[in-house]
Amino acid sequence: MKKLFLLGSILCILLSSSCKAGDSQKNVTVSGFMLNTYVSITLYETDNEELAKQALDICNEYEQLFSRTIPDSALSRLNNTKEAVDADESLYELIQTGIYYSDLTEGALDITIEPFISLWDISGTAPQVPDTQQIKALLPFVNYKHIQLTEENHTITLHNNASIDLGAIAKGYIADKIRKFLVDNGVTHGIIRLGGNILCINDKPDGSDFIIGIQKPFDEAAVPVLTLKIDDMSVVTSGTYERYFMENDRIYHHIIDPKTGIPSDSGLISVTIISEDSVAGDCLSTACLIMGEEKARKLLDSIDGVCGILIDEQMNITYSEGAAQFVR
Task: Note the residues at the interface with ligand ADP (CB under 6 A).
Answer: 109-111, 113, 117, 165, 167-168, 195-196, 238, 242-243, 254-256, 258, 282, 285-286, 290
Q: How far apart are CA 142 and CA 328, in angstroms?
A: 40
Residues contacting 53, CB < 8 A, separation 6+ = 30
| Closer to ligand ADP by Cβ: residue 168 or 200 | 168
- Identify the CA nearest to 195 among candidates 240, 242, 231: 242
Q: Which residue is nearest to ligand ADP (CB)?
A: 167
Is the CB of residue 257 less than 8 Å from the CB of residue 265?
A: yes
Rounded to 5°, the CA angle 162-167-171 comes to 140
| Closer to ligand ADP by Cβ: residue 11 or 139 | 139
| Closer to Mg ion by Cβ: residue 23 or 265 | 265
Min CB(157)–ligand ADP separation in Å: 19
What is the phi-psi region of residue 35: left when phi exceeds 0, alpha when psi lies from -120 to 50, beta otherwise? Answer: left
Residues contacting 248, CB < 8 A, separation 6+ = none
Min CB(115)–ligand ADP separation in Å: 11
Q: How far apart are CA 5 and CA 12, in angstroms?
A: 10
Judged by beta carbon distances under 5 to 8 A according to partner kind, the member of ligand ADP, Mg ion, none in contact with residue 204 is: none
| Closer to ligand ADP by Cβ: residue 285 or 320 | 285
Min CB(252)–Mg ion separation in Å: 18
| Closer to ligand ADP by Cβ: residue 52 or 269 | 269
Q: How far apart are CA 69 and CA 262, in angstroms?
A: 21
Q: Rule CB under 5 A: which residues touch Mg ion?
A: 168, 282, 286
Judged by beta carbon distances under 5 to 8 A according to partner kind, the member of ligand ADP, Mg ion, none in contact with residue 35 is: none
Judged by beta carbon distances under 5 to 8 A according to partner kind, the member of Mg ion, ligand ADP, none in contact with residue 242 is: ligand ADP
Helix (H, G, I), strand (E, B) or coil at 164: coil
Is the CB of residue 72 less than 8 Å from the CB of residue 124?
A: no
| Closer to Mg ion by Cβ: residue 36 or 155 | 36
Min CB(166)–ligand ADP separation in Å: 8
Min CB(23)–ligand ADP separation in Å: 33
